[in-house]
Amino acid sequence: MSVVSIRNLHYAYDPLLPGGEPISVLRGVDLDVEQGEFLSLMGPTGVGKTTLCMALNGLVPQATGGHIRGSVEVLGCDPRRTPVEELAARVGIVYQDPESQLFCTTVQDEVAFGPENLGVAAQEIKERVEWALNVVGMSSYGDRSPNQLSGGEKQRVAIAASLAMMPEVLILDEPAASLDPVGRFQVFEAIEALCQQRRVTIIMVSHDAEHVAQFSDRVAVMWEGRLARVGTPSEIFFDRSLRDQVGFAIPQVSTLAMALNSRYGTAYRFTRVDEAEEALRRDIAEQQAFRKTSEVYSSGTAWPQSASANEWMHRQDGLEDFGSLIRTQDLWYEYDATIPALNGVDLSIPDNAYLAVVGQNGSGKTTLVKHFNGLLKPTRGEVWVYGRSTESATVGELAHQVGYVFQNPDHQIFCATTWEEIAFGPRNLGLAPETVRARVSEALETFSLTPYAETPPAVLGYGLRRKVSIAAVYAMRPQILILDEPSIGLDWRSTQELMARVDELHDQGHTIILVTHDMRLVAEYTRQTLVMHEGGVLTYGPTEVVLCQTEQLKQAQIAPPQIARLAGRLTDLGFNGQALSVEGFCVAYGELWEGKA
C-alpha cells in the first residue's frame, strides 16, 4: 500500500519582491512511497526539495501561501485540508537547522513537547521520552540544555522529538549537513535503527551520496521541478546521462567503478566500499591465483610512514627563509579566559599554499584561523602574518591581506542590492569609486552573479547567497583567502564550480586556507593538510602524505575518502599509497591486473 502518493503536483510561492513573478518550484511531481521504505531525495540546491517535504506535512501551502495544483495524499489524508498540527502526529519532520527546532530549555522537555500537545497522559509521555531518547542513544542527556549539545547531538534530539509522537512517516531534510563525520555517522545510525526496527517509512533529503548509497532502498533525483528519475542506488548512480544533466554527487567508489569499466571493460556496479572490496578482491584474487605472483605485491610497497610528514613539518620550524606567509609560535587561546581552545600551536604556512584544515567539531579549527586575520588575539604566544605580529594590527588593517568567508552566509548579508553588498568591503578599504566599480563588476562576473546585481541578496536561494558572500570577500582582493566550511548546503555541481574558482585563485598566486569536513575536497583540491585535534596540531604535511596516516586520522575521528579506505582494505593485494584518487587507483589496478609492479 502506498503511504505517500503524489500526482502531478505543481506549486509556486508568492513573489518575494512586490510586483514580482510568482516563484514556480514544483512543476509536475509524481511519487509513490511504500510502507516501511527508505527513500532518499537528491537534487541541486534550490530545486525544491524542502518545498516538497513541506508539501507532505501540509506546511506547503497552509503556512507558506502560494498557488498549488495536483494531488497529494499522505496516509490517506490530504495535507492541504488537514490542519498541520493534526497531521503532525502521523508525519514527523526534522529540518536542516538544528538551532531553530530545539526550542525548549531541556532535552527532556523538547522530546515531551509533541506528545504533550497531543494530550497524551503524563505517565505515557515519560515512557515515550525514555524510549525515544534511547533509540537515538541520548538517554543520559535528558537534563541538558540544547545549548550544551554538539551539532550531531542536537540533530539526534530533534529526531527523538519527532519520534516521541510515534509518526508513521518520518521526513528528514538534510539532517546531517553541517556535522562532522562522527556526528553524521551517529545521525544515520539512529535513522537506520528506526527504519529497520520499527518499519517507519523514511524520506530523507541528502547531498551525501555515500550515505544515501549505504542506507536507502530507493533514490529520487529532483530536477527542474520534477522527479527526473526514481530508482535503486545503483540504477541512479550509474545513469550517466542523468548525472550529466543534473550534476548530483555520486559515491566515490561508483566513480571508480565507472573508470575501471571504461578502461578495462569490467562491469562493476558497486556503490559501497564493502561491495567494492568484495568485488575487487574476488576478481584480483582469481587473477593472482591464476598467475601465482601475489607475494611480489603483498609485502613490497609500503605505506608512506608518518615520520615523513613529521619531518616535513619540522623542516619548516623556525626557518625564516622558507617564505612563510603565516607563522604561529606556541599559540594558546582561551575563550573568556577560561575555556581552552588552542594549546600550543606551532605552524608555518608557506606562500601560495593550498591548505586544508580538518578535524572534529570543536577541535579548534575556526579558533585557529580567526587568529590569521586578527579577530582573535593569542592568549599566549604569537602570530605573524607577512612578518608582522597580529598583536598590534587591527582586523581592518589585516583585511587588506586576509579575506575571511564565514561559515554562514547570512552572517554577512545586509545590503539592499547584491552590488552594494559586494562593494561594502572594497569601500571599507578606502578604494577610489572607479576601482570599487571595476572590482564589483569583476566579482559579479567571476561568480556569475551579474543577473542578480540589483536584487536584494537576502532573498536569493542559499546557493546564490553563498556565492555572494564569497564574491564580497573576493572583491577585496586578499592575498590570503580563508574559507570556513564553504561547501555546506551546496550541491555537488555548485561545489565543483566554487572550487574551480578557488583553484584559479590559487593558480594566480593566492594562498588558500580551506576549513572543511569534506575529505573529498581535501583529497581532490588541496596541497597541504592540517589535522586539528583537541586544540592542537595532530599532523601537518602534504595532503597525499597526511591522508595515508591512518593512525592519526583515526585518532582525529576523520574518515578518509572512500577510495583511500578501499585501498587501505586492499593493501594485502598490493594497493598502496598512490591509489588515493580514482586515477591512481585505476593505474594500480591495471598494474596488478597485468602483473607489472
Q: Give the residues lining the site for Mg ion (CB under 5 A).
A: 50, 366
Identify the CA nearest to 475 among candidates 437, 510, 502. 437
User: Closer to ligand ATP at the Cβ: 110 or 484?
Assistant: 484
Please, which of residues 478-517 interact with ligand ATP by CB under 6 A?
489
Q: Which of 190, 331, 341, 449 binds ligand ATP (CB under 6 A)?
A: 341
Rounded Cα gap, residues 408 and 484, in angstroms: 9
User: Closer to ligand ATP at the Cβ: 280 or 356?
Assistant: 356
Which of Mg ion, other proteins, ligand ATP, none sits in contact with 341, Cβ below 5 to 8 A by type?
Answer: ligand ATP
User: Closer to other proteins at the Cβ: 153 or 346?
Assistant: 153
User: Closer to ligand ATP at the Cβ: 129 or 519?
Assistant: 519
User: Closer to other proteins at the Cβ: 447 or 575?
Assistant: 447
User: Closer to ligand ATP at the Cβ: 308 or 552?
Assistant: 552
Rounded Cα gap, residues 462 and 259, in angstroms: 33
Q: How many residues does the chain have?
A: 597
- Please say whether the beta carbons of 567 and 544 come within 8 A: no
Interface pattern 378-397 for ligand ATP (x via CB under 6 A): --------------------
Supply the minimum distance, in Å, between the C-beta of residue 206 and other proteins.
19
Q: Which residue has the cell 565507472?
A: 258
Supply the minimum distance, in Å, between the C-beta of residue 90 and other proteins.
10
Distances from the Cα of 382 to the Cα of 395, 399, 507, 511, 513, angstroms: 16, 19, 29, 20, 19
φ, ψ of residue 93 in degrees (nearest 5): -140, 135
Which of ligand ATP, Mg ion, other proteins, none sits in contact with 367, Cβ below 5 to 8 A by type?
Answer: ligand ATP
Stretch that binds ligand ATP, among 154-162, 228-236, 263-271, 359-367 (CB under 6 A): 359-367
Please, which of residues 60-99 interact with ligand ATP by CB under 6 A?
64
Supply the minimum distance, in Å, between the C-beta of residue 46 and Mg ion.
8
One-letter amino acid of 454? E
Supply the minimum distance, in Å, between the C-beta of residue 428 and ligand ATP.
24
Supply the minimum distance, in Å, between the C-beta of residue 587 and other proteins.
43
Which of ligand ATP, other proteins, Mg ion, none sits in contact with 472, Cβ below 5 to 8 A by type?
Answer: other proteins
Kindly state whether residue 365 participates in binding ligand ATP, applying the rule CB under 6 A. yes
Question: What is the sign of the dihedral through the CA atoms of 429, 431, 436 and 438?
Answer: negative
CA angle 586, 592, 596 (to 5 degrees): 110
Q: Is the preceding peptide bond at 61 cis, omega within 30 degrees of 0?
A: yes
Q: Which of 288, 367, 412, 487 binds ligand ATP (CB under 6 A)?
A: 367
Rounded Cα gap, residues 477 and 419, in angstroms: 16
Question: What is the sign of the dihedral through the CA atoms of 454, 459, 463 and 466?
Answer: positive
Kindly state whether residue 182 participates in binding ligand ATP, applying the rule CB under 6 A. no
Rounded Cα gap, residues 181 and 556, in angstroms: 10
Interface pattern 123-162 for ligand ATP (x via CB under 6 A): ----------------------------------------
Distances from the Cα of 23 to the Cα of 20, 47, 226, 384, angstroms: 9, 11, 15, 49
Burial 545-583 (b: 16+ CB within 10 A, else e): bbbbbeebbeebbbbbbbbbbbbbbbbebbbbbbbbbbe
Binding site for ligand ATP (CB under 6 A): 13, 16, 23, 25, 43, 45-51, 64, 180, 335-336, 339, 341, 359, 361-367, 461-462, 489
